[in-house]
Amino acid sequence: VSAETYELFSKEPPSGNLGFVDPKAKTLQLTVAGHDLTIHQSPTALSSNRAGGTTGAVLWKITPVFAEWMSRPENLFFASGVLSSQSSVIELGCGIAALNGLVLAPKVCRYVLTDQPYVAKLVEQNIEENFGVLSSKPASGVRGSKTLGRKMKGGAHDYPTPLLTFRELDWETDGVDPSLTGGDALRSFDAIIACDCIYNEALIEPFVQTCADICRLRVVDHAGMPPTLCIVGQQLRDADVFETFMNRFSRDFDIWRVPESRLVEGLRSNSGFVVHVGRLKNPL
Ligand SMILES: C[S@@+](CC[C@H](N)C(=O)[O-])C[C@H]1O[C@@H](n2cnc3c(N)ncnc32)[C@H](O)[C@@H]1O
């Protein structure tokens, strides 16, 4: 772990702000995976003093690059078959943008966005306004049971299983249980995605514990299926926070850093971002 910290932090990360895309803009225009998207965010909520934090009120820089990388056909998880159109993915700390979900939901079977409740309204709006741009799959849903009926040209579509859902999941106060999947028969996940969720030492223990508990859903319910992989993208800010995370993560997970050759330019070593993949060590 120390060698990993040394290697990553001995290169100077590019200077810049904390990692917001634009903390003052109410609306962002982004092109991701070849699609022009409009993302609404809340500078007001960001600067409020909500107990429990407000960082998810705006979009963070790693996520558009991460979403672009994941969307490419040559992306290692899709190219290797770890993820496919049959896969089920959950994202932790998704923030208001829903960007990874918007880009990846059309490529998988089910994508569950999670975060604290304060992001739900803007997640809903961002899904509503952008989902049609990215996919011909017409249904999306938020807050678990609520499905957003989307009338497409040529007829109404009501899908019993929402493809893209938002569910509240607070790492510090909520337990992980199979209802996270919305009561679906598919009661576990192929991958967990988290972008820029490693920045506060106090959140590391509940974050890693949540990851481990989600991975155990698969082992308990689907013995014999490939393990849930935990894909963690982060901005390199503070060596102590990073090392605390790696020490805690490596207690429960075998960890690999995604090599340069499998990343897009915007995530390579001079970017100040890094992506690790974890596999639970002792599932039972
Ligand atoms: C730096 S933001 C990143 C947001 C988003 N992933 C992005 O890259 O734009 C960190 C995210 O972690 C979420 N978060 C912080 N504490 C949390 C907790 N206890 N439970 C669940 N999510 C939490 C925040 O709400 C926020 O969305």
Å from CA of 242 to ligand 1 middle: 16
> Can you give the pLDDT at residue 195?
98
User: Distance from the CA of 204 to the center of ligand 1, in angstroms?
Assistant: 12
For the chain, which residues score pLDDT lower than 50?
Answer: 136-161, 185
Query: What are the residues whose beta carbons fall under 8 Å from the beta carbon of 179, sequence distance 6 or more?
Result: none
Q: Which residues pair with 27 in a beta bridge?
A: 40
* Start-end of H helices in 54-118: 62-71, 76-79, 99-104
Indicate if the alpha-carbon torsion angle 111, 32, 210, 145 is positive or negative: negative
**Ligand 1 pocket at CB < 6 A:** 53, 55-56, 59-60, 62-63, 93-95, 97, 115-116, 119, 170-172, 195-197, 199, 203, 206
Q: How far apart are CA 95 and CA 90, in angstroms?
A: 13
The structure tokens listed for 49 are: 């003093």
How large is the C-alpha radius of gyration of the chain?
18
- The answer to whether residues 77 and 85 touch, using CB atoms and an 8 Å cutoff, is no
What span, in angstroms and rounded, lies between the C-alpha atoms of 134 and 162?
Answer: 16
Residue that the structure tokens 């935990």 belong to: 230
- CA 95 to ligand 1 centroid distance, Å: 6
Overall pTM surpassing 0.85 (yes/no): yes
Q: How far is the CA of 148 from the centre of ligand 1 (A)?
A: 24
Distance 153 CA to ligand 1 centre (A): 36
- What pLDDT shows up at residue 179? 79
CA distance linking residue 284 with residue 279, whole number of Å: 13
Kindly list the distances between the CA atom of residue 237 and the CA atoms of 58, 180, 212, in Å, as whole numbers in the listed order.
Answer: 18, 31, 24
3-state helix, strand and coil shares in percent for the chain, rounded to the nearest 5: 35, 25, 40
Residue whose token pair is 């923030």: 95
Residue with CA nearest ligand 1 atom 25:
56
| Owner of token pair 């992506």 | 275
* Res 132: pLDDT: 78
Q: What is the pLDDT of residue 220?
A: 61
> Which atom number of ligand 1 is nearest to the Cα of residue 60?
9
